[in-house]
Structures are given as C-alpha cells and as structure tokens.
C-alpha cells in the first residue's frame, strides 16, 4: 500500500443525505475566518474536495464536512462544507451530521440529555443542541445563521420553459423557491429528470442575469445553486419539495439551509409567524421540523433566525488514500 495522503473520515447520513465528516488529514487550512478558509480551499485545494466527493470514493450526490480548529473563541470546531457542487457557506444536514459524529465519537464532552456543540461555519456561528440518550444522538436542533427574503414575485425568462415566477431567499445559501407547477410538472419521482432539468435551467437563467444574488456582507457568497420546487398543497404548516442542486442532483434530506430560506420566504409573505412549527419534507419523504425564533436584520434587511431539527446516523469509518499512480487523483464524475 502506498499513499500520498491519508484522510480520516466518519461517514453518516442525515435523513437520507450523506455527510462524510473528515476528522483528520488536512492540518490547519490558512485563513483568519472560516469564510477566508473556504476561499483559500476553493482557490488552492479544490482537488481534495473532488478526491473525497467524486467517484470512485464518493458519487454524484456526495456531501461532506472538513473539521478544523475554530477561528473564533466561542466555537468548539470550525467546519468547511464540501459537496459535488463545491464548498457551501453553510449546510444544515451537514451540521446535523457533524454534531452527531462529534457526540457519538466523544470528540466533544458529552452531557446527557443535551450536549451543545458550537460550530464556526463560513456563514457564521451555528449552535447544535444534540439530544443524547445512553451516548446516542437521537435528534439535533441547529440554530442557523440569519436568513432573509431577497425577492418575492420575481419573473425570469427560462430558455425552453418560458417566463417563470419565483421567490428568492437566503438561509445559509441562496434558494429560488417556487411551486413545481410553474413548470407544468407533476410531483413524481418518475419525472425526476425533467424536474432536475427545470431546476437547473432556472439556476442558469438567474445566475447569468442581473438577478444573480450576492450576500450584502460577504461577496464570496453568491449565485443560486439550489432550487426549491414545492409540491402541490404545500403551505406554511407542511411543505413537500424536490430540491434540485447544481450540477445535477436532489437533496435526499429536507435541506436545512433550504428549510431556513423557505421559512424566511413564508415569514416575508406574512404566512409564518415566530414560534410556529414548520414541517418540511424531502423528495424521498424524510422530514425536518423548522421554527423561526427571532427577528433580526442583515445589512438593514429584515431577517429571521431559524432553528431546524432532524436526525443523523453514523454509517461507518474510513481512511481515504491517494496512491501516487492513481490515474484519477481528483476523482471523476460520469
């Protein structure tokens, strides 16, 4: 056996969506904040993301998180979120996976019945309250970063689909939110290819127009890579959706940052007050419970603080290698 690198991983899934938690192998990534470390990683280290996420070590819907020392004194760990799509400013299912792994491996001091884990993410401090019973993490509630509605009732011309109406919100990533019916498609997994194509076409249209969003406080957070396509009958109490994600996959989980953006959008529409449960269901039928707990602002824009509750399970541990003769040092996708 020969290897240039060894990456230590604890694999998990959150309501069906994988989080490969990289617990060792990177050392400290340069940057004074996790947002700076994210940019450094994008510019100088992206081949390790593709090595760990793409085939043959991962797959076309793979997702993970790299643990780091925190860059701020009020956090326990720093986290970078990696996916086939790139590096996310924040990831809800990933945070639930990380918190579960930290508790179940004893990487944080475990207190029953609730262990609090404070994570330094590129988008800001996110706390996770982990319910613990006999050493097992049974549920995790994250308090997410400030989320806000960017636009309501926007319209854009989408090649092949005509004029499409959508709302846009930030919940740690930017989300276009619209009823799937805008594309005239039924909410059926058998139609997933058309649903995905519609979501990707909308992202492309927004990102190549003046409607491409940029976060007012952090210009490295920009563009729409996620489209929340709501099922018929979805409302502010219970919403089902298919989450189309760049470059071409669906979230298996109900998407924590998408749940946060959806709640910010419903709040801006006057449909979801504070302290009311919001049940958000994924394309495969798994569920998160969201709640808005505070009103705040982001650069003068009205914003809300969401919490999201879900569950994760540890699925295994691994060491990933890179043999010096491996013809695919950055992996590949078909």
| Residues engaged in binding ligand PYC (CB under 6 A) | 17, 63, 88, 91-93, 251, 253, 255-258
Cis? peptide before 113, omega within 30° of 0: yes
Output the smallest distance, CB 199 to ligand PYC, in A.
13
Strands (E), the chain: 6-14, 17-24, 63-68, 77-83, 86-88, 114-121, 124-133, 136-143, 148-158, 162-170, 174-179, 224-230, 238-245, 249-250, 278-281, 287-298, 301-310, 312-321
Q: What is the chain's percent helix, strand, coil content, to nearest 5?
A: 20, 45, 35
Output the smallest distance, CB 201 to ligand PYC, in A.
19
Is 175 or 322 the residue whose CB approaches ligand PYC more closely? 175
d(CA 331, CA 320): 12
Dihedral angle over CA of 240, 244, 249, 252, nearest 10: -20
d(CA 25, CA 4): 11
d(CA 73, CA 305): 22
Please say if 91 is a catalytic residue: yes
Is 264 or 322 the residue whose CB approaches ligand PYC more closely? 264
d(CA 24, CA 320): 11
Output the smallest distance, CB 2 to ligand PYC, in A.
34
d(CA 197, CA 210): 22
d(CA 215, CA 222): 6
Is 19 or 234 the residue whose CB approaches ligand PYC more closely? 19
Output the smallest distance, CB 17 to ligand PYC, in A.
6
Q: Point out the catalytic residue in the list 255, 305, 308, 322.
A: 255
Is 10 or 91 the residue whose CB approaches ligand PYC more closely? 91
Please say if 255 is a catalytic residue: yes
Is 82 or 322 the residue whose CB approaches ligand PYC more closely? 82
φ, ψ (nearest 5 deg) of residue 210: -75, -10
Q: Point out the catalytic residue in the list 52, 91, 96, 177.
A: 91
CB distance 91 to 171 below 8 Å: no
Output the smallest distance, CB 274 to ligand PYC, in A.
21
Is 48 or 250 the residue whose CB approaches ligand PYC more closely? 250
Residues marked active site are found at 91, 255
């Amino acid at each position: 056996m020969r290897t240039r690198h060894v990456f230590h991983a604890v694999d998990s899934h959150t309501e069906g969506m994988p989080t490969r938690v990289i617990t060792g192998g990177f050392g400290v990534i340069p940057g004074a904040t996790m947002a700076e470390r994210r940019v450094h990683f994008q510019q100088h280290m992206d081949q390790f993301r593709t090595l760990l996420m793409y085939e043959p070590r991962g797959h076309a819907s793979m997702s993970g998180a790299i643990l780091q020392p925190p860059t701020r004194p009020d956090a326990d760990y720093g986290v970078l979120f990696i996916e086939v799509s790139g590096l996310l400013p924040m990831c809800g299912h990933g945070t639930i996976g990380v918190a579960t792994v930290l508790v179940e491996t004893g990487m944080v001091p475990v207190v029953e019945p609730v262990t609090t884990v404070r994570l330094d993410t590129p988008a800001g401090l996110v706390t996770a309250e982990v319910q613990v019973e006999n050493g097992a993490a049974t549920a995790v509630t994250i308090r997410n970063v400030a989320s806000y509605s960017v636009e309501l009732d926007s319209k854009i011309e989408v090649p092949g689909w005509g004029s499409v109406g959508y709302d846009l919100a930030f919940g740690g990533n930017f989300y276009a939110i619209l009823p799937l019916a805008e594309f005239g498609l039924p909410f059926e997994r058998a139609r997933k290819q058309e649903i995905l194509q519609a979501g990707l076409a909308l992202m492309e249209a927004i990102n190549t127009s003046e409607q491409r969003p940029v976060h007012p406080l952090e210009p490295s957070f920009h563009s729409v890579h996620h489209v929340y396509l709501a099922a018929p009958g979805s409302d502010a109490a219970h919403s089902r959706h298919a989450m189309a994600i760049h470059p071409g996959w669906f979230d298996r989980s109900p998407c924590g940052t998408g749940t946060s953006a959806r709640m910010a959008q419903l709040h801006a529409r006057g449909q979801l007050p504070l302290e009311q449960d919001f049940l958000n269901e994924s394309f495969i039928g798994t569920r998160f419970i969201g709640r808005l707990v505070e009103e705040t602002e982001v650069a003068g824009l009205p914003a809300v603080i969401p919490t999201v509750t879900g569950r994760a399970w540890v699925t295994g541990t691994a060491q990933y290698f890179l043999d010096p003769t491996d013809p695919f040092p950055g992996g590949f996708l078909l």
